Chains A and B, each alone.
Chain A
C-alpha cells in the first residue's frame, strides 16, 4: 500500500512565525545594545566634564593673574564715583551763588532824595528740611525797605525803578494774589508820629519784596 509520509521538520516553537528573526533572540540583543549605548553615553559625559573642568581651571588661573590689576581699576572707579558725588554737591552750591552787589549799588542811585531810608533788611531764609537722597531744595527770603517820605510820589518812583535791571536779579516783581504771591507788598503806608523840629508830618512806608529764589538743585 502506498501512503504519503508526513514529515514535520518544524518544531512547535518555530511554527509561531514565518520570519527567521525570533523575538526571543532579538530581545536580549537589543537589551545588550542598550547597555552598550549607556556606556558610550557615560563616556561622552565624562569627556565633556573633563573638558569643562579643564576650561574652568584655565579661566580660574587667568582670573587670579588679573586680580591685582582689576583691584586697581575697582579702586580707581570708586575714586571717580567719590569725586562725582563731591562735585555734584559743590556744583550745586556754585550754581546757587547769588550776586547782589550791583543791585545794592544801584539802589543808592535810584533812591529819590526825598526818601529817607530807615531800614533795609534781607533776613536769613528759613532752614530747609533735607532728606537723603534729595532732589534739592529752594530758599526764599524777603527784602524790606522801611523809610520816611514827605509824599507818596517819591515812593512810587522808587518802586517803579525797582522793577528794572539790575534789580530783577535780586527782587521778584509779580502779582498773584490768588496764590498768595504778591511782590512788592506794601505792609504799611501811614503818617509818622510828629517829630520835634519837623514842620510837616512825614509818611512812613514799609514795602516788602520777595527775593529771587535760591535753588540748590542738581
Chain B
C-alpha cells in the first residue's frame, strides 16, 4: 500500500501553524529567555573576575617596586627615631634633663629646672597614620649670663637636629652674670608616648 502524503487543507494548516507557534513561544519564554539571562549573569561574573584578576596581576607585578620604595621609606623613617623625644620613666621633662643638663652645665648655667608642657598636635594632611606625632615643649628655667644662654641655644641646635627654640625670656637681675632665663625647647614625639 502506497502512503500518500496529502497536503493539509486550510483548517489543518491553521491548526498545525498554531500548534508550532504555541510550542515555539513556550520554548522561547520558558527555555531560551532564562538561558539568555543566565548567560548575561555569567558574563557579568566573568567580567568582574577578569577585572579582579587584572588588579591582582598588576599588584603582583609591582612587588619589586613596592619593596624598593618601602625600604627607602623605612630608612628615612628610622633616621627620625634618633631625634624623637622618648620619655624617661614616663617623664619627658626628665628625658630633657638627661639630654640638656650636661650642655647647660658646660655653658655655665645653674639652677636648672625642667617642666613638660602640654603637647601640641601636628597637622594631619591626608589619611591619618596609625602612629602620629606631636610637638612636646619642655620649659627650662635657670640662671646665668646672656652669653651662657646663647651658648646653650647654639649647642642644642647643633646637637639635636629636630629641637626648636619656641620661647625665650631673659630678665636682668642685680647681678649681670646671673640673669633669670627661661627657655622652651620643643621636640617631636610619638602621640600617646606619655599617658
Asked if A108 and B157 sit within 8 Å, CB to CB, the answer is no
Kindly specify which of A60-68, A158-166, A179-187 makes contact with the partner chain.
Answer: A60-68
Contact (Cβ within 8 A) A86 B131: yes
- Chain B hits for A127, CB < 8 A: 120
Binding site for A on B (CB under 8 A): 7-10, 12-14, 16-17, 19-21, 23-24, 27-28, 31-32, 35-36, 38-39, 42-43, 45-46, 49-50, 52-53, 56-57, 59-60, 62-63, 66-67, 69-70, 73-74, 76-77, 80, 117, 120-133, 135, 137, 146-147, 149-150, 153-154, 157, 161-172, 184, 188
| A151 CB within 8 Å of chain B | no
How many interface contacts (CB-CB < 8 Å) are there between A and B? 230
Q: Which of B16, B36, B39, B59 contacts A74 (CB 8 A)?
A: B59
Q: A96 — nearest CB in chain B belongs to which residue?
A: B164
Q: Are A35 and B20 in contact (CB under 8 A)?
A: yes
A24 neighbours in B (Cβ, 8 Å): 7-10, 12-14
- Distance (whole angstroms) from the CB of A72 to the closest CB of chain B: 8
Tell me which of A39, A82, A97 contacts B129 (CB under 8 A).
A82
Residues of A within 8 A of B14 (CB): 24, 27
Query: Would A105 and B32 be within 8 Å (CB), given that A27-B17, A83-B77, A94-B162 are in contact?
Result: no
A86-B129, A100-B153, A119-B171 known; A28+B122 contact, CB < 8 A: no
**Which residues does chain A contribute within 8 Å of B16, judged by CB atoms?**
27-28, 31
Out of B59, B122, B147, B172, which one reaches A73, CB within 8 Å? B59
Query: Is A73 in contact with B150, judged by CB distance below 8 angstroms?
Result: no
Let me know if A218 and B157 touch, CB within 8 A.
Answer: no
Are A108 and B147 in contact (CB-based, < 8 A)?
A: yes
Q: Name B's interface SS.
A: helix
- Cβ-defined partner of B27 (8 Å) among A38, A82, A124: A38
Q: A25-B8, A45-B36, A80-B70 are in contact. Are A35 and B24 (CB under 8 A)?
A: yes
Decide if A59 is an interface residue (CB 8 Å cutoff). Answer: yes
Interface residues of A (CB under 8 A from B): 13, 22-25, 27-28, 30-32, 34-35, 38-39, 41-42, 45-46, 48-49, 52-53, 55-56, 59-60, 62-63, 66, 69-70, 73-74, 76-77, 79-90, 92-94, 96-102, 104-105, 108, 116-125, 127-128, 130, 132-137, 141, 214, 216-218
Cβ B13 vs Cβ A49 within 8 A: no
| Given known A24-B13, A76-B66, A97-B162, contact A52–B28 (CB-CB < 8 A) | no
| A93 and B188 contact, CB distance less than 8 A | yes
Q: Which residues in B have their C-beta under 8 angstroms from that of A122?
A: 167-169
B20 contacts A59, CB within 8 Å? no
Q: How far is the CA of A63 from the CA of B48 in the complex (A)?
A: 12
Residue pairs across A and B with Cβ atoms less than 8 A apart, 21 shown, are A24-B8, A28-B8, A35-B20, A42-B32, A56-B46, A66-B60, A73-B59, A80-B73, A83-B70, A83-B73, A83-B77, A86-B132, A92-B122, A93-B135, A93-B162, A105-B154, A119-B170, A119-B172, A120-B168, A122-B168, A130-B123
